[in-house]
A and B are shown apart, each in its own frame.
Chain A
Amino acid sequence: GAVVSQHPSRVICKSGTSVKIECRSLDFQATTMFWYRQFPKQSLMLMATSNEGSKATYEQGVEKDKFLINHASLTLSTLTVTSAHPEDSSFYICSAREVLKPGNTIYFGEGSWLTVV
């Protein structure tokens, strides 16, 4: 089946620094990728929709300048958390839509644990 890969799976960074998380669709092209954030024992919260070749669409309450999203190719989207703070520590998950599958099936990456110290 289709595979979405995220990297890194775990990252620890110092407060004030920036960290980049990559999301790749390995065996299909994804014109649309989604970034979610998940707090412990809670559901996924959609942060933004990433469209290849255009600006991302952010959900209400998500700071565009803090969570930079780039979707430079049909197989890669990146999320950069800028000037990270401890409250940004969370589980970040990306997903990609495989448009040629029934139901435009959406597959998820394995997630990235971000800890800001």
Chain B
Amino acid sequence: GEDVEQSLFLSVREGDSSVINCTYTDSSSTYLYWYKQEPGAGLQLLTYIFSNMDMKQDQRLTVLLNKKDKHLSLRIADTQTGDSAIYFCADPPHQAGTALIFGKGTTLSVSS
């Protein structure tokens, strides 16, 4: 079945850039998503990228998509302590009406 893989931890210093990587198996995805989960809270949609795009930039966030390698990354520029959270990439299965498939989440720890 479909699978989404992420590295589990990333630790950066405040002001540095963070890059969170994700690989997926379902090549038919039209969109791929990044969600953020702060401690004890639900998931917040950060951004999504259409599968025919290579890059999408939204303020401090840059999403890169390599469809050939089925690799997705999220870059956070000028990382702040408030960015500390768990980041999930999510891949919608090709069948309409079905749920997202999540990676295990990358815990981003930002130190000052």
Contact = CB atoms under 8 A, between A and B. Distances in A.
Interface of A: 1, 6, 32, 34, 36, 41-44, 46, 49, 51, 93, 95, 97, 102-111, 113
Contacts of B105: 43
Interface residues of B, number: 25
A34 B97 CA distance: 10
Given A49-B98, A102-B31, 4 more contacts: A34-B100, A43-B105, A44-B102, A51-B97
Nearest to A38: B37
Contacts of A106: 33, 45, 90, 92, 99-100
B8 to A, nearest CB: 9
B97 A108 contact: no
A103 B103 contact: no
Contact of B42 (A32, A41, A105, A111): A111
Nearest to B32: A103
A110 B41 contact: yes
23 contacts: A1-B45, A6-B42, A32-B97, A34-B99, A41-B107, A43-B104, A44-B43, A46-B99, A93-B42, A103-B31, A105-B48, A106-B33, A106-B45, A106-B99, A106-B100, A107-B45, A108-B35, A108-B43, A108-B44, A108-B45, A110-B42, A111-B42, A113-B40
Contacts of B40: 111, 113
Task: Tell me what chain A mostly uses at the interface: helix, strand, loop, or mixed.
Answer: strand
Interface of B: 30-31, 33, 35, 40-45, 48, 50, 88, 90, 92, 96-100, 102-105, 107
A103 to B, nearest CB: 4
A10 B2 CA distance: 32
A95 B102 CA distance: 13
